[in-house]
Amino acid sequence: MFKKMKLNYSSLEPVISDLNLDLHYNKHYGKYVDNLNKLLPNYSGSVESILMSIDSFNKKDRGSILTNVGGVLNHELYFRSMSSEPYTNNRLVSDLFKQYGSFDIFKSEFINSANKLVGSGYTFLVYKDGSFDIINLPNQENPYTYNYTPLIALDLWEHAYYLTYYNDRALYINNFFRIINFDYANTLYEKIK
Ligand SMILES: [Fe+2]
């Protein structure tokens, strides 16, 4: 049985309101977990393993399995990409600095990419073949599908910010940088280095 991940913070105020976070975690993310349990009631492996072996599933179910696997994995990375605590300097941050020239350039490239996403989707910091990339993917597509390792996810579906920011998505994107959990992203980075 698939279970919801636990959040390691109780609030991300004022960047994301408590009501916004509660609905996002319990209702939106929770729905994807419920859907996976309905689609694959007897599956005992991890959510990632479904993605890696998608060809072994019934063809007619693959589309909805992929959507819900993406919905779970993307939300779990998004919730882990944020923290109420400041991060410490780490290898990821210093390597981002090296590749982009400065942390501010990385930040502005990430923000520019996020602002360009049309409709629902995510902006990801990913790693592939020795370098970082910033990519937008629509709906619940997952970077693993394109052989990228995702390190940070920013959920840009309207439900992620509307209750806190209404239509001001650009402010949500900017404020995300106040709560990014670079320590967690660094643990993912260290695993593949
Ligand atoms: Fe979401």
Ligand 1: centre distance to CA 18 (Å):
15
Ligand 1: centre distance to CA 186 (Å):
23
pTM metric for this prediction: 0.97
Backbone torsion region of residue 130, taken as left when φ is above 0, otherwise alpha when ψ lies between -120 and 50, otherwise beta: left
From the list 53, 60, 59, 93, the residue with the least C-alpha distance to 184 is 93
Which is it for the CA torsion 7, 115, 72, 17, positive or negative?
A: positive
Mean pLDDT of 143-150: 96
Average pLDDT score, the chain = 97
pLDDT computed for residue 193 by the predictor: 87
End-to-end CA distance of the chain: 32
pLDDT tens sequence across 75-116:
999 999 999 999 998 999 999 999 999 999 999 999 999 999
Residue 55 has pLDDT above 90, yes or no: yes
pLDDT tens sequence across 28-43:
999 999 999 999 999 9
pLDDT computed for residue 123 by the predictor: 98
Per CATH, the architecture of 17-193 is what?
3-Layer(bab) Sandwich (3.55)
pLDDT computed for residue 48 by the predictor: 93
Mean pLDDT of 133-159: 97
Ligand 1: centre distance to CA 97 (Å):
29
Residue 83 and residue 182 in contact, taking contact as beta carbons nearer than 8 Å: no
pLDDT computed for residue 98 by the predictor: 97
List the chain domain ranges.
Answer: 17-193
pLDDT computed for residue 50 by the predictor: 95
Ligand 1: centre distance to CA 98 (Å):
31
Mean pLDDT of 157-185: 98
Residue 172 and residue 178 in contact, taking contact as beta carbons nearer than 8 Å: no
From the list 124, 97, 98, the residue with the least C-alpha distance to 110 is 124
Ligand 1: centre distance to CA 101 (Å):
31
